[in-house]
Amino acid sequence: MTISYSDTFLKLLFRWKGSLWKAIWKHLLIFLTMYYIINAYYRFGMTKEQQNEFIKYVMLVDGWTKEIPLTFLLGFYVAMIVRRWWDCCQLISWPDHLLYNVSALIRGQDPETRIIRKTIARYAILTSVLAWRSISLRVLARYPTDDHLVDSGLMTKEEMVMFKSILVHVDPHQKWWVPLNWIQTMMVRCFEKGTLTHTNELRVLLDALEKYRNGFFQLFIYDWIAIPLVYTQVSTISVYGYFLFALIGRQYPSKNENEEIVDVYVPIFTILQFLFYVGWLKVGEDLMFPFGADDEDFEFNYILERNLEVSMLIVDDLHNQVPPVYVESLDDEIHLLHTSASSKLSNHPQRQHLRKLKFNVDAMQVQAVPGNHLNEREVSVSTTSKLSFADLENLANGPKNLPKF
């Protein structure tokens, strides 16, 4: 099998889903339509005198476009949005850490202990649904009402009655933290009845639960506190204003800096600028709210399905499971293998940058530094071999009367 990176690159370059072409093709079509309408009127609807007068305005407006600091505005704006988008990605809560600790510390195969572990896992997934449907269009469309939670088995009818009986006056729809409180109560009761044998075990579970909760809370902060509207407006107006002026300033035929007539039917460089700048702006617009249903938004539905399956495996099927280990395996050797494909890939192992640095013999000789007691006593073997017995005695007693070499 031959791995062709050029083919992979071309597939990514011309892919439609989530691509630059899908994001800006309508805008580019509108821009080119307006451009060629002006260009056709310039070429065929104006007299020679009008064309000469129009060229003056073309050169004037083209100079104006150079006064807009578009690269600076867009670069800072998009960099801030990408950093914010990555922070949101890092704050997605995964129950693995919490449930690994639950499986390790709440041990037992009796029905009661298994129910406790599986209920904690179910409450963890229920918290995800309740929290994410407040910010994610995908999750809200999947679980629009509380009844859908009962139908899916994430919540029992008794739990639903208890859930609805909890009154929250400030924000009645934000009760996503209630299942976490139920998990905390179950952990404390496990400690009280002796399933957890030490307060440190309870502390580990509560810390993992707090880490799981904090991800949802921080994600709500990012959803609540958006990038200031004025910043978005400045960047958007700058980009579209730039290309509004470019409709006139990039018309051909025109004149260059040497007053020579230049005629181009397809403004290639202007089209490239449109792809770069408008595409750059669209990146910021798409990543500003990553909780929607666009191609590049977070796939919360997949995350929920993955978390549910993995959670039940951790707390039940894989609990206390380990392959058998035999004494004979002590003599088994492990050999890392290569396939034909992997052996052809370039290999760049770690190399310390000083590994080839060598000192000559003179540079490695130890020298005595005046005023340093240790250095004055630490002399090389080749030097001490030339000293007399009296000199060695002076060295043993201190730096007094130290001979000069």
- Domain ranges in the chain are 27-89+231-299, 95-224
Is residue 376 scored above 70 in pLDDT?
no
Tens of pLDDT along 289-300? Answer: 889 888 778 999
What digits encode the pLDDT tens for the residues 331-369? 888 888 989 888 888 888 888 888 888 888 888 888 876
Q: What is the mean pLDDT of residues 388-394?
A: 57
Distances (CA, A) of 34 to 30, 38, 151: 6, 6, 54
Residues 88-124 have pLDDT tens digits of 999 999 999 999 999 999 999 999 999 999 999 999 9
Res 384 pLDDT > 60: no
pLDDT reported for residue 152: 94
Predicted confidence at residue 358, as pLDDT, reads: 83
For the chain, give the mean pLDDT: 85
Cα-based torsion angle of the residue sequence 87, 88, 93, 96 in order, rounded to the nearest 10 degrees: -50
Q: Residue 175's closest CA among 140, 126, 118, 142?
A: 126
| pLDDT for the residue numbered 365 | 84
Task: Work out the angle between the directed axes of helices 96-105 and 199-224 (0-180°, nearest 10).
Answer: 170
What is the pLDDT at residue 371? 63
Which range has the worst mean pLDDT, 246-250, 259-263, 376-380?
A: 376-380
Confidence check: pLDDT of 382 > 80 = no
Can you give the pLDDT at residue 186?
96
Per-residue pLDDT at 5: 54
pLDDT at 283: 86
Listed in sequence order, the residues at least 6 apart from 241 whose beta carbon sits closer than 8 Å to its beta carbon are 68
Minimum mean pLDDT among 194-208, 265-279, 303-317: which range? 265-279
**What is the pLDDT, as a whole number, of residue 405?**
43
Tens digits of per-residue pLDDT, 320-337?
A: 888 888 877 778 888 889
Nearest-angstrom CA–CA distance, 332 and 371:
60
Summarised one tens digit per residue, pLDDT across range 128-171 is 999 999 999 999 999 999 999 999 999 999 999 999 999 888 87
Q: Cβ neighbours of residue 130 under 8 Å, at least 6 residues apart? A: 149, 175, 176, 178, 179
Asked whether residue 1 carries a pLDDT value surpassing 50, the answer given is no
Can you give the C-alpha Rg of the chain in angstroms?
A: 36
> What does the pLDDT read at residue 18?
66
- What share of the chain has pLDDT > 70, as a percent? 86
Hunting for tokens 């902060």 — which residue is that? 221
Give the tens place of pLDDT for each residue, 28-59. Answer: 999 999 999 999 998 898 988 898 888 888 88
Alpha helices for 45-110 (secondary structure H): 48-65, 70-90, 96-105
Confidence bin at 274 (pLDDT 50/70/90): very high
Q: Which of 230, 212, 223, 214 is nearest to 297 (CA)?
A: 223
Q: Contact, 384 vs 392, CB < 8 A? A: yes
Q: What is the pTM of this model?
A: 0.76
Confidence of residue 381 (pLDDT cuts 50, 70, 90): very low
pLDDT(377) > 80? no
